[in-house]
Structure 1
Amino acid sequence: MIADRVALAGVVLLLSLAPSAAQLRRPLTCTEEASVGLDTPLLPEGTKPQPRKARTFSLVSSGGLLTVISAGRSDYYECQTASPRLNERSPRNAVKCQNGVYFLLIDLTKLNFVEAQLNPEDRAEVKVSFGSCRGL
């Protein structure tokens, strides 16, 4: 009886992780919709900051790593399924990836992403961006 429940819980867990893994195997093209950095100069009140040029990049998952290809450069991220805590509103079908000072959260249901670049050695390299992806 207990063994059956444990086996059922294991199957449910595997089925809940399967969509994340399968959706990330197909290549995606992502485009930033907004990006904000701490290096933005202070502007007078009511003035909007100049928009940054939208960055486009590709995501490909292979060999347990996520490859981010942008401007001819490839960066490799380690990923795992994002599991929300009790009081968090994190997406249910999402993966979180990390590479040095870059952090990436991808909602595989809505194909949205949030990226953070955190460099403690250079505050000008601290930024947050978000956008959307589409399958190729």
Structure 2
Amino acid sequence: MSGITEEQQGQDDLAYNVFAKACPSRGTLEHVTGRWGGLTLGALYEGSLRFNELRRRVDGVSEKMLSQTLHALERDGLVHREAQPTNPPRVDYELTPLGRRVAERLLALIHCVEGSMDDVLAARVRYDGTRGGL
């Protein structure tokens, strides 16, 4: 007997259950799957990018949102920020090994969605035709 009660064991099992309200993995999932997090991870999968290169690659993201997204992903250990001691300063962003693993799975989802868009668009037309659109 390990001295752990059944209740404690049950809590341990739920420690990283994203469906549990208090689970810390929920915040990371939000960072990864949020509007800009997924696109940022996908863009960085191609290689290291400077801030403005990344901003151009992730079309539509504001400087403020990209900065907040990068901070969150860096805090979660998915992105590495490297400041070069040059004048002017140069800052590069790249995925960590964990970030690459997450981005690979995310890119599979992105490719699935992109490859299914004809079906999605047809479904929207059918739906809108029966319900009067949005």
Q: Report which of the two has the higher share of strand.
A: 1
Give the number of the structure whose alpha-carbon radius of gyration is greater: 2
Which structure ranks higher in relative contact order (CA pairs < 8 Å, sequence separation ≥ 6)?
1
Q: Name the TM tier (shorter chain).
A: under 0.3
Q: Report which of the two has the higher share of helix.
A: 2
When normalised by structure 2's length, the TM-score is 0.27
When normalised by structure 1's length, the TM-score is 0.27
